[in-house]
Chain A
Amino acid sequence: MCGSCGCGDHHKHSHNLSHEQMHALGMEHHHHHEQPSVIEIEKDILSHNNNMAERIRGYLDAKNIYAFNLVSSPGSGKTTLLETTIKAIKSKINISVIEGDQRTSNDADRIMNLGINTVQINTETGCHLEAGEIYDTIKQMNIPESSLLFIENIGNLVCPALFDLGENERIVMISVTEGDDKPLKYPYMFESAQTCIINKIDLLPYLQCDIERIKQNALSINPHLRFFELSVTQGIGMENWISYLLQQIQT
């Protein structure tokens, strides 16, 4: 019997077996792993997030849903904007909302009180929403066709900039109380947005904040930005904003 492979006495085969063949035959053999080898990968580190974002985008496209990713510092007025917007247009168009916060369902409760399909995501220690979370959430929301979806991101002008959520449009919101150099301090968010809402403009008389300077600073970071100047609580500028929203969905 062949001592190497345990076959019959008649030794008619070669022992130049490949590594895979030795494994298949259950033969003992040496592994030649002493030589480290370099493997080129060239893969985007956020590829998982970006792939999930593209899947979301495809789903939303197919259902004619227009999605906004709403980002700002905490307290700029994102949730109040949503409440006011919903009251103004819910009779004309269907709206769904995903709320992101570290903790509590306070924001989702406010929106749900208006009879809106709302899901709260609590990220706990997380500082941003990721596409995988949005994908799982959207799957269970049963969002109707030809409608609007608002994703209210965690109040944070830094981290959410990097994470595509599959939205059609990213809106960065800034209130005039935050200072007119904010776009310069947090450039990544302003770079990655298509729209900038400047809120609380009714407070301008009390502040040393120049709205033109906010816009110039934002445009120096991203010359493609589109602006809305609003006071959500006083109803200033809301007509423009609402008609812009309604134009996004062709029913």
Chain B
Amino acid sequence: MHELSIALSIVNLAVQEAKNNGNSKLSELEVEVGELAGVDINGLDFSLGIILKSSRMNVGHKIHTISPLSRCNICKRDFKSTRKYTSCPFCGSKDTRLTKGNELRLKSIIVE
């Protein structure tokens, strides 16, 4: 259950960024989470909701999930993957890398 500590990091980062932006008031934060980031998205959504509600900051939040994509280092083709290391469906190579789906990013904030 590391979603709560990750949610806290998100809120701290967003508040800091709003402060850096001329002390504006944070009204919404937007997060991008890859499906293979190792984070339970429902758990994160729940945790963010609890923190923002209990802090009485009146801040909304949105979570965008990102589907995983891999690239084969041998035949250089992209393909949809289900885990970090997926064999290439075109040439069978195991030498592949995840290019999308591992994100855990504060995408943007809305300030007033």
Q: How far is the CA of A85 from the CA of B106 in the complex (A)?
A: 42
CB neighbors of A among B54-108 (8 A): 83-85, 94, 104-108
- Chain A residues whose C-beta falls within 8 Å of the C-beta of B51 in the assembled complex: none
The verdict on B52 contacting chain A, using a C-beta distance below 8 Å, is no
The interface residues of chain B, by DSSP majority, are classed as mixed
The B-contacting residues of A in range 1-54, CB under 8 angstroms, are 33-48
B13 on the A face (CB < 8 A): yes
Cβ contact within 8 Å between B2 and A158: yes
Q: Is the CB of A41 within 8 A of B2?
A: no
Q: Are B25 and A33 in contact (CB under 8 A)?
A: yes
Which residues from chain B contact A161 at a C-beta distance below 8 Å?
38
| In contact, A37 and B38 (Cβ under 8 angstroms) | no
Are B2 and A39 in touch, CB under 8 angstroms?
no
**Chain B residue with minimal CB distance to A224?**
B85
Is A59 interfacial (CB 8 A cutoff)?
Answer: no
For the complex, what is the distance from the CA of A43 to the CA of B107, rounded to whole Å? Answer: 7
Q: Is residue B6 within 8 Å, beta carbon to beta carbon, of the partner chain?
A: yes
Is the Cβ of B84 less than 8 Å from the Cβ of A222?
Answer: yes
Q: Are A45 and B9 in contact (CB under 8 A)?
A: yes
B41 interfacial contact with A, CB 8 Å? no
Complex CA gap A41/B18 in Å reads 10
| Closest CB in chain A relative to B74 CB, distance in Å | 13
A44 and B38 contact, Cβ closer than 8 Å, known pairs A33-B25, A159-B1, A191-B84: no
Interface residues of B in 8-24 (CB under 8 A from A): 9-10, 13-14, 17-18, 21, 24
Quick one: which of B9, B39, B110, B111 contacts A48, CB cutoff 8 A? B9
**A39/B1 in contact, CB under 8 A:** no
A150 at the interface (CB under 8 A from B): no
Bound: A42/B17 CA distance, A: 11
**Using Cβ atoms and an 8 Å threshold, which residues of chain A touch B111?**
36-37, 39
Task: Show 27 residue pairs from A and B whose CB-CB distance is below 8 angstroms, ordered by the A residue.
Answer: A36-B28, A36-B110, A36-B112, A38-B109, A39-B17, A40-B107, A41-B13, A41-B14, A41-B109, A42-B107, A43-B105, A45-B9, A45-B31, A45-B104, A46-B6, A46-B9, A46-B104, A48-B13, A126-B5, A127-B2, A128-B2, A159-B1, A159-B2, A161-B38, A162-B39, A191-B84, A221-B85
B binding-site residues for A, Cβ under 8 Å:
1-2, 5-6, 9-10, 13-14, 17-18, 21, 24-25, 27-28, 31, 37-39, 83-85, 94, 104-112
Binding site for B on A (CB under 8 A): 33-48, 126-128, 158-159, 161-162, 187-188, 191, 221-224
Known: A40-B108, A222-B85, A223-B94. 19 other contacts (CB 8 A): A33-B112, A35-B112, A36-B27, A36-B112, A37-B112, A38-B110, A39-B21, A39-B111, A41-B13, A41-B14, A42-B106, A45-B10, A48-B13, A127-B2, A159-B1, A162-B2, A191-B85, A221-B83, A221-B84
